């Protein structure tokens, strides 16, 4: 057979790969640099890196820090479970159900508050974070404005605001009565 006498084909030689734990890594960690990079180039790269770090620090000092996103995920689970039970669900609803309802509630609340912020900005009541006198810019009137076309939501929001005012007045009366009564 002709195939038996033919020389065997050899695989191409494998390329050598550097391992992270080798002698080169130990040399680099000990302070020695790459042997391929001249010292002048290494010094210039170090200066460039230091200049970039200084620029970042200066930029961070000039701009006020943005507040981190507030994550409410998982905070409403217990309350939603009780509400679902009140509306006829099981005493302990499925975790998937709670997650879904919580996602819907958080999405609705986030969207509503973003729209309320836009409404406050149009009215000129929205102040930039970090500005002097910055406070809560979104008020009850912004929320009422957004739900004005849904009569049930509007009536409930008005009822809650009235109830809140009554509770505040009752607390003031109770505080005055506590001060007036000698002990």
Angle (CA) 117 152 144, round 5°: 25
- 17, 19, 22, 28 alpha-carbon torsion, rounded to 10°: 100
Record the tokens describing residue 64, joined without a space: 């006020």
Residue 28: is its pLDDT beyond 60?
Answer: no
d(CA 15, CA 4): 30
Q: Which pLDDT belongs to residue 55?
A: 57
Residue 34: is its pLDDT beyond 80?
Answer: no
**Cβ 128 vs Cβ 107: under 8 Å:** no
- Greater model confidence, 61 or 149: 149
Residue 30: is its pLDDT beyond 50?
Answer: no
Of the chain, the percentage scoring pLDDT greater than 90 comes to 38
């Amino acid at each position: 057979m002709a195939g038996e006498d033919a020389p065997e084909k050899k695989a191409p030689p494998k390329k050598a790969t550097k391992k992270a734990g080798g002698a080169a890594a130990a040399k680099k960690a000990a302070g020695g640099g790459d042997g391929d990079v001249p010292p002048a180039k290494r010094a210039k790269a170090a200066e460039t890196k230091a200049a970039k770090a200084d620029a970042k620090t200066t930029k961070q000092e000039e701009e006020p820090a943005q507040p981190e996103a507030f994550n409410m995920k998982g905070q409403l689970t217990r309350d939603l479970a009780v509400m679902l039970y009140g509306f006829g669900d099981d005493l302990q609803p499925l975790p998937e159900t709670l997650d879904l309802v919580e996602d819907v509630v958080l999405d609705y609340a986030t969207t509503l508050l973003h729209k309320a912020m836009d409404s406050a900005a149009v009215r000129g009541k929205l102040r930039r974070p970090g500005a002097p006198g910055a406070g809560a810019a979104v008020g009850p009137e912004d929320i009422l404005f957004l739900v004005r076309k849904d009569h049930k939501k509007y009536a409930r929001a008005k009822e809650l605001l009235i109830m809140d005012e009554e509770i505040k007045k009752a607390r003031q009366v109770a505080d005055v009565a506590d001060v007036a009564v000698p002990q």
